[in-house]
Chain A
Amino acid sequence: MKKKRTSKSGGVRARSSRNGNGETKPSVKRADEPMEWELRLYVAGNTPNSIAAFSNLQQICEKHMGGRYRIEIVDLFENPQLARGDQIIAVPTLVRRLPTPIKKIIGDLSNTERVLVGLDLKPARSFAARR
Chain B
Amino acid sequence: MKNNGNPRIKTADKRLPQQEFVRKTPTGTEGLDEITRGGIPSGRNTLVCGGAGSGKTLFAMKYLCCGAFEYGEPGLCISFEENSEELAQNMASLGYDLSALEKKKVLAIDHVQIARHEFEETGEYDLSGLFVRIEHGIRSIGAKRLVLDTVEVLFTGLPNEAIVRSELRRLFRWLKEQGVTTIITAETGPRGSLTRHGLEEYVADCVILLDHRVSEQVSTRRLRIVKYRGSAHGTNEFPFLLDESGLSVVPITSVGLTHQASTDRVSSGIPGLDRMLGGKGFFRNSSILISGTAGTGKSSFAAHFANAAAERGERCLYFAFEESPSQILRNMRSVGLDLEQWMDRGLLRIEASRPTSTGLEGHLARMHRDISAFKPVIVVVDPITNLVSIGDSPAVKSMLTRLIDFLKMKNITAMFTNLTVKGMVEETSVGISSLMDTWILLREMDILVRDVSASAPERQRAIHLLKSRGMAHSRKMEPFEITDSGIHMLFLDGRQRNMAQGSESRWARKRAR
Contact = CB atoms under 8 A, between A and B. Distances in A.
Interface string A87-115: 11111110000000011111111110011
B184 to A, nearest CB: 16
Contacts of A115: 120, 122
A123 interface: no
A2 B123 CA distance: 26
Given A90-B125, A108-B124, A84 B133 contact: yes
Contacts of B451: none
Interface residues of B, number: 25
Interface in B74-120: 110, 112-114, 117-120
B125 A91 contact: yes
Given A83-B136, A104-B118, A130-B117, A89 B130 contact: yes
A118 B122 contact: yes
Given A77-B132, A80-B133, A90 B126 contact: yes
A89 B171 CA distance: 12
Contacts of B119: 104-106
A81 B136 contact: yes
B133 A107 contact: no
B122 A89 contact: no
A44 B132 CA distance: 8
Q: Chain A binding site: helix, strand, loop or mixed by DSSP?
A: loop
A80 B122 contact: no
A117 B123 contact: no
Nearest to A88: B129
Given A89-B130, A91-B128, A107 B123 contact: yes
Given A83-B132, A84-B133, A87-B114, A114 B126 contact: no
A35 interface: no
B158 interface: yes
Contacts of A7: none
Interface string B311-344: 0000000000000000000000000000000000
Q: Report which residue of B118, B129, B130, B135 has the largest number of chain A beta carbons within 10 angstroms of its beta carbon.
A: B129
B120 A106 contact: yes
Interface string A20-53: 0000000000000000000000101101010011
A42 B129 contact: yes
A66 to B, nearest CB: 21
A114 B120 contact: yes
B118 A89 contact: no
A76 interface: yes
B452 interface: no
Nearest to A45: B128
A26 to B, nearest CB: 22
B127 interface: yes
A46 B124 CA distance: 15
B167 to A, nearest CB: 9
A125 to B, nearest CB: 14
**Size range of the interface on A?**
35 or more
B149 to A, nearest CB: 15
A106 B123 CA distance: 8
Contacts of A53: 123
A119 to B, nearest CB: 8
A115 B119 CA distance: 11
Contact of A49 (B118, B121, B124, B133): B124
A110 B129 contact: no
Given A80-B135, A89-B114, A44 B128 contact: yes
A72 B130 CA distance: 20
Contacts of A102: 118
Given A89-B114, A90-B158, A103-B118, A76 B132 contact: yes
B318 to A, nearest CB: 54
21 contacts: A45-B128, A53-B123, A77-B132, A83-B133, A84-B133, A89-B129, A89-B154, A90-B125, A90-B158, A91-B129, A92-B125, A102-B118, A103-B120, A104-B118, A105-B122, A106-B121, A109-B123, A110-B123, A114-B120, A118-B120, A118-B122
Given A89-B130, A106-B121, 5 more contacts: A76-B129, A81-B136, A105-B120, A106-B125, A107-B124
Interface of A: 42, 44-45, 47, 49, 52-53, 76-77, 80-81, 83-84, 87-93, 102-111, 114-115, 117-118, 130
Interface of B: 110, 112-114, 117-133, 135-136, 154, 158
Top 3 A-B residue pairs of the complex, sorted by shortest distance between their CB atoms: A118-B120, A80-B136, A44-B128
